[in-house]
Structures are given as structure tokens and as C-alpha cells.
Amino acid sequence: MRKLFGTNGVRGILNKSISVETLVRLGYAIGTYFEGGRLLVGMDGRIGSPIAKEATVSGLLAAGCEVLDLGLAPTPVIQYDARFNEVDGCVIFTASHNPPEYIGVKVCGSDGVEIPREGEEKIESIFFEGSYKLAEWDMVGRVRNVTGSIERYIEAVIRHVDRHLIAKHRYRVVVDPGNGVSSLTIPHILKALGCEVYTINDHIDGRFPGRLPEPSEENLSGLIKAVKVFDADLGVAYDGDGDRAVFVDEEGVFHPGDRSLALIEDYVMEKKPGAILVTPVSTSQVVDDIAERRGGRVIRVKVGSVDVSWAMKKLNAELGGEENGGVFYGLHQPVRDGGITTVLILHILAVRDMKLSEALSMLPVYHIIKRRVQCRDEFKHKILSILEEKVKDIGIKVEKVDGLKIWLDNREWVLIRPSGTEPIYRVIAEAPSYERAEKLAEEYTKLIIETARSLSG
Ligand code: MG
């Protein structure tokens, strides 16, 4: 079966791996899937996004869809506005954290949640079979602009926290949107919460001149420096489309996304014992420790925000989260949302009257090491079954939610997983000590390389 959708929508480089013609036909296919319904569209600040939007929208209109155009906005704003506009679905033009040359198309339902995998497969089969239903000449759709979305979103986010308590602390916050669209919302949200706001890389620029759109530690040296220079209480950085947030504490120390997730989890489960966190198999076991401490539950799913959102909907879960800084807050919307993540962290600091470093130091410490191993797509499946055979007697158990997760003991695991989007295998190892995690990552990387060699040789 040929594929269009990866882990997170359709992605490609305009005029190279994805053409305008493809986007128009994708518009036909999406329009056919929604039976010519009413769709909300919006985009990130990438150079190719306006072209991607115009091309796809042409296809949607030809398929008889009515299109509401929200314009430039963070992904969670577009998702949040779906219900307000009573649409049948949304189409969001974003390549999230990918390098600047990429564009992307993400399809969501009437509640703003990405359509399930089966929906993506349906669109793919309409696309590849060419079984579009195009409208008669006088039944094609029209575009209408939507206003007020950003303001609605900002209000909605603030409603979830104690704004007066946060305002009393007059937090000094450095914001790094990384030249992405979260500069449209975050500084305004923080000002409404009485924060003193400093920004870097805050003009929207699809070339991402300030830093790459992925908010990883190596891309955030500017933010780390700025937190110290401005003597701030914390720094926060977003990916290109603003659905993920990661934090730097008052000492200028970067914290991986699963640490801030665990802090939010601790707060949610303290408030509501028995609360559920949905998270992929790759997230640190720190979330299991917190759930045990607070009497909550952790449900593990495949890697990817679609799987987290759908499990949350099914279980009516309070919280979802990923190690990359994606936090899904059920009371707001079951999709990842950098705005709600930011205000929840401020709320927790205000309620506990703690510095960020102090609040995070209450969490158990683990070390995660990640590796990538090149592997041709055609071998991926074969390698996985050979590895499965090789590891079945190692450790105390093997889980197969996504790839193979081998538990060496109660506190050490290795996850080996073929990437859904690139010709690579990912190896993630976690242990209480850095040295041990590194040793495990090394060992299992070698195992994959040897297995691949035995196949191609
Ligand atoms: Mg994103």
C-alpha cells in the first residue's frame, strides 16, 4: 500500500518531494473524504505554507467544500477553533518541527483532533485510486475568512489557571518562539497573567534565522543565555507550530519534555486521584513513579500524537504527554498544546510557591540516551522479527506496543523502533545512571547494525 501520511500528517519539500499538483489532488481526496463538508483551514509561518494552503484549498473547493480560513496561527489555536466554527473538520498547513524547507498538511476532525489512522488510509486510497467526487460547476465551494480565533484561544487557555495567584508572583519569563507562530499567542497570554515578558526570535520568519524549529537543547543556547542575562524565573521555547513547549529553569538549565510533563502529571493526579495519563512507550518511567505516588494510571500507546489523542478520547483521560514537550490537557482539548503547557507550569509554580528547578528536583532522576541507526525501509520489518527472536529471553519482559521494549530489570529498559518517517531505527535506553543508559544504547545499536548486515550480506 502506497503512503502519503507519516507519523504526523503529510510532509515533504515543495517542488521536490511534494508538488503543487499533488496538493491539489490531496485537496480533492480530503474534500471527497469529508463529502464536501465545511472545513476550517489555517497555517504556520513557513515559506511554502501559503502555496500549500492555496493549492489544497483549490482542491477542497472543487470537491464542493465550504472553506473557513483562519490564516496564520499556532496549530492548537486552529484545533481549538474547530468547535466554535461548527466545522466538519480542519486542514492545517504545518511541518511542525521539521527543517525550514519542509511543508506539511494535517487533517483533523470536527473536534480538532487529528483523524484516526483509518481515516488517513481512506484519504490515501481515494488519492491513489483517483476516486474523487468533484462538484458540479455551480456547486463548488467558497472561502470565507474567520476572525477572533487567537483571542478566543487566549481566553480559553487562561480560564484553566488561577490568573490572580500567578500575577502576584510577577514571573520574569523569556519566550523563544524560534521565529514560529507561537509569538502570536504566548507573549499575550503571559502578559495577561501579569508576567514580565522578554522575547527572542519572536518575528515570524519561514527561514527560521534564529534557530531550527525543533526545540531541542542544542538549539536553545540563545534562550539559556537570555534566561541568565535577564535574571528570569524561567525560559520557554516552542516548536515551529507552537504545539510543544520545553522549559529552561532560573539557573539556565534545560529540562527534557518528560520532566515538565511529570510535573504537570503530579499536579493533575494530586488534584484528582485515579486520573489517567496517556503517553507513548518512549516516555521516561518517571511518569510511572509519579502515578504510583499519586494513585493515578499510565496508559502506554504507540509513538505519535494521533494515538495519544485517540486513546485520551476513548478513556476520557485527564492528561496526555510526550517526551518531546507535547502536553495534552483533557479539560482544554485532547491535542498537544504549547499554550496550555506554559500556563499549567506557571500555575504549579505559583500554587507550590517554588522555583522551577526546585519543583523539578522533587522528581525521581533517570537518564535517557537516544540513538539513530540507518536502515533501509525494505529491511525494517524483517529486522524487527529477527530482533524479537534474539531478545525474547533477555531481561524480565518484552513489550510490543510499538517496536520492541525490553525491560532488563524494573528500572532499566531499551526501546528499538523503526521510524515511521525516515529510513532509520531509533534506539532509546533509560536507566537510573547515565553510564548504564549509555552502555545499553551502545549494545542495542550494535545489535541492530549486526542484524542489518547479516540481511544485506
Ligand atoms: Mg508541532
Is 421's pLDDT higher than 80?
Answer: no
Q: What pLDDT is stored for residue 312 in this prediction?
A: 98
pLDDT band at 391 (very low <50, low <70, confident <90, very high): confident
Distance (Å) from CA 173 to ligand 1 centroid: 21
Q: Are residues 322 and 449 in the same domain?
A: no
As a whole number, mean pLDDT of residues 409-419 equals 94
DSSP per position, 366-412: -EEEEEEEE--HHHHHHHHHHHHHHHTTSSSEEE-SSSEEEEEETTE
Distance CA 390, CA 345 (A): 43
Domain boundary pick from 361, 384, 418: 361
Predicted local distance difference test score (pLDDT) of residue 392: 85
| Residue 268 falls inside a structural domain | yes
Q: What average pLDDT does this structure show over 11-26?
A: 96
Give a yes or no: residue 2 inside a domain.
Answer: no
Predicted pLDDT of residue 457: 64
Residue 95 lies in a domain: yes
- In this prediction, residue 375 carries a pLDDT of 87
3-state secondary structure 84-97: HCCCCEEEEECCCC
Give 95 Cα–ligand 1 centroid separation in angstroms. Answer: 7
Whether residue 134 is found in the same domain as residue 65: yes
The least confident of 8-17, 278-287, 330-339 is: 8-17
Q: Order of strands, edge to edge, in the sheet holding 89-93?
A: 10-13, 102-108, 89-93, 38-43, 66-72, 143-145
**Within this chain, do residues 234 and 338 fall inside the same structural domain, yes or no?**
yes
Cα 260 to Cα 87, 141, 360: the distances in Å are 33, 44, 7
Last residue of a domain, one of 115, 147, 179: 147
Of 116, 132, 147, the residue that ends a domain is: 147
Residues 181 and 318 in one domain: yes
Percentage of the chain beyond pLDDT 70 is 99
Report the amino acid identity of residue 308. V
> Does 139 lie in the same domain as 173?
no
pLDDT mean over 420-424:
79
17 is a catalytic site residue: no
Domain that holds residue 372: 367-456
Distance 207 CA to ligand 1 centre (A): 16
Tell me, yes or no, whether 349 lies in a domain.
Answer: yes
CATH of the domain at 259: 3.40.120.10
Q: How many folded domains does the chain comprise?
A: 3
In a domain, 392, yes or no: yes
pLDDT at 23 over 70: yes
Mapped onto helix, strand or coil, the DSSP state of residue 188 is helix
Q: What is the pLDDT of residues 313-356, one digit of tens each?
A: 999 999 999 999 999 999 999 999 999 999 999 999 999 999 99
Q: Are residues 244 and 276 both part of a single domain?
A: yes
Q: Is residue 41 part of a domain?
A: yes
pLDDT digits (tens, 9 = 90+) for 230-265: 999 999 999 999 999 999 999 999 999 999 999 999
pLDDT at 247: 98
Distance (angstroms) between ligand 1 centre and the Cα of 398 equals 30
| Burial class, 1, CB count within 10 angstroms (exposed 0-12 / middle 13-18 / buried 19+) | exposed
Residue 380 confidence (pLDDT): 86
Which candidate, 73, 7, 14, 12, places its Cα nearest to that of 41?
73
Q: Is residue 371 assigned to a domain? A: yes
State whether 278 and 357 are in the same domain: yes
- State the pTM of this model: 0.96
Catalytic residue among 17, 19, 49, 96: 96
- Mean pLDDT, residues 403-425: 91
Do 285 and 335 share a domain, yes or no? Answer: yes
Q: 433 CA distance to ligand 1 centroid (A)?
A: 30
CB of 167 within 8 A of CB of 158? no
Are 201 and 350 in a shared domain?
yes
- Give distance in angstroms: CA of 96 to centre of ligand 1: 4
Residues 406 and 276 in one domain: no
pLDDT 10s digits, 27-72: 999 999 999 999 999 999 999 999 999 999 999 999 999 999 999 9
CATH of the domain at 375: 3.30.310.50
CA of 240 to the centre of ligand 1 (A): 6
Q: What is the mean pLDDT of residues 126-141?
A: 97
Which alpha helices (DSSP H) does 63-201 contain, by range? 75-84, 117-129, 149-158, 163-169, 186-192
Answer yes or no: is 1 within a domain: no
**391 and 352 housed in the same domain:** no
Residue 381 — pLDDT band, cuts 50, 70, 90? confident
Regarding whether 179 and 61 lie in a shared domain, the answer is no
pLDDT band, very low/low/confident/very high, at 1 (cuts 50, 70, 90): low
Distance 290 CA to ligand 1 centre (A): 26
pLDDT at res. 263: 98
